Copies of this chain bind each other. A is one copy, B any other.
Amino acid sequence: MKKKRTELLLMIGIPEAQADVLYATGFLAPDEVVVYLRGKQRLLVTSPMEYLRARGEARNVRVISSRELILSKETVGTPTDWAEALLRRERVRRCSVPGWTPVGVVKALEARGIRVTVKPLALAEERAVKSAVELAAIRRAQRAAVSAMRAAFGALATASIDRNNTLRLDGRVLTSERLRTLIEVELLAHGCSAVGGTIASCGEETADPHGQGAGPLYAHRPIILDIFPRSRKTGYWGDMTRTVVKGTAPEEIIRMHAAVCAARRAALAMIRPGADAGAVHARVQEVFAAKGFCTKLDGKKPCGFIHSTGHGVGLDIHEAPRISTIGGTLQAGHVITVEPGLYYPGIGGVRVEDTFVVTSTGCRCLAPLPLGLSLGS
């Protein structure tokens, strides 16, 4: 019987964009690299330009300059060339690649006689369960989000309300754009950037979960603040949302906020190792339905609870596990958001989101902050 050879996982990608590559190497770089993982053999190939930095920063891999593999005077070659040369050197003619690998790269490898098997999840499941070091990194990003949220609350609390119910701060209108800048400056001070933007929407805008918000902020209307910083140093994300009202909250928004908090409590009560993520999501749907908040996905104006209950957070802002209809079993060490929300065009939206770690007995919020709707008048 032939001995089964250890499977080779080959990755060709940009560490900043492909979390699997960053996870495997700890090397946060903007240019393509090649990663070769085969049992204990863990190699990282970079361009000559990135070589010295990779030697200093990469972890758990041996760093190779592409010049060790491609010795042409005319060109340094493409990362696909490096991969082919490395496989030739290692006398390997087949490999697995992650599902995210560009099909163009796979075709190029196949054209050179390499047999490629697609491994859809690759490192996703391993990445979903966080180490203590990873947990600390996510907590730091989440604490940056809390600081930025507090800074925004402070600005809203200090703001005055003019005759048109417009908020004013330091003599000028307080806009979504101004509040967003204030939030992101605070994130920068904590070593994080708002790579994906920041949501600071108000009034009817809040009925769109991804609407970033524009123009003046108003009293007596919902304001959604969704802050998702990425650490510059580690690449880990945080994710947090609050819905607040300056002045008097509309009755409907108060009811929606209470329902969102109830749905959150119901979800949190279920989260523990072994729980089914699909069941948690279904429970949130039930709570909303029981409180009379209907969801409509069809037609021109989708409304109600129109997104999933949550998602994993790590080196990707959205990663495994999904707390959605997709389902899956929760495990200790998973880091997930819980973010029930309700959205009604013409009325507005409410979403409350925190990031939690699944513990041996339940879950724990990584960086708590009160959920309250009111910011005072």
Q: How many copies does the complex hold?
A: 2
Q: For the complex, is A114 an interface residue (Cβ under 8 Å from B)?
A: no
**Contact between chains at A193 and B184 (CB < 8 Å):** yes
Which B residues are CB-close (under 8 A) to A100? 102-104
**From B106, B177, B188, B325, contact of A181 by CB (8 A):** B188
**From B74, B103, B184, contact of A118 by CB (8 A):** B103
**Contact between chains at B193 and A298 (CB < 8 Å):** no
Q: For the complex, is A350 an interface residue (Cβ under 8 Å from B)?
A: no
Q: For the complex, is A50 an interface residue (Cβ under 8 Å from B)?
A: yes
Q: For the complex, is A155 an interface residue (Cβ under 8 Å from B)?
A: no
Most B-side CB within 10 Å, residue of A31, A50, A188: A188
Which B residues are CB-close (under 8 A) to A292? none
Instruction: State how many angstroms separate the Cβ of A142 from the closest Cβ of chain B.
Output: 19
- Which chain A residues have a beta carbon within 8 Å of chain B's beta carbons? 16-17, 29-31, 48-53, 65, 67, 71, 74-76, 97-107, 116, 118, 120, 177, 181, 184-185, 188-189, 191, 193-197, 208-212, 232, 297-302, 306-307, 325-326, 345
**From B49, B75, B97, B194, contact of A302 by CB (8 A):** B49
**Contact between chains at B118 and A107 (CB < 8 Å):** yes
Whether A208 contacts B103 in the complex (CB less than 8 A), given A188-B185, A193-B184, A196-B30, comes out as no
Which B residues are CB-close (under 8 A) to A194? 193
Which B residues are CB-close (under 8 A) to A185? 181, 185, 188
**From B106, B107, B210, contact of A30 by CB (8 A):** B210
Task: Give the distance in Å from the alpha carbon of A306 to the alpha carbon of B53 in the complex.
Answer: 13
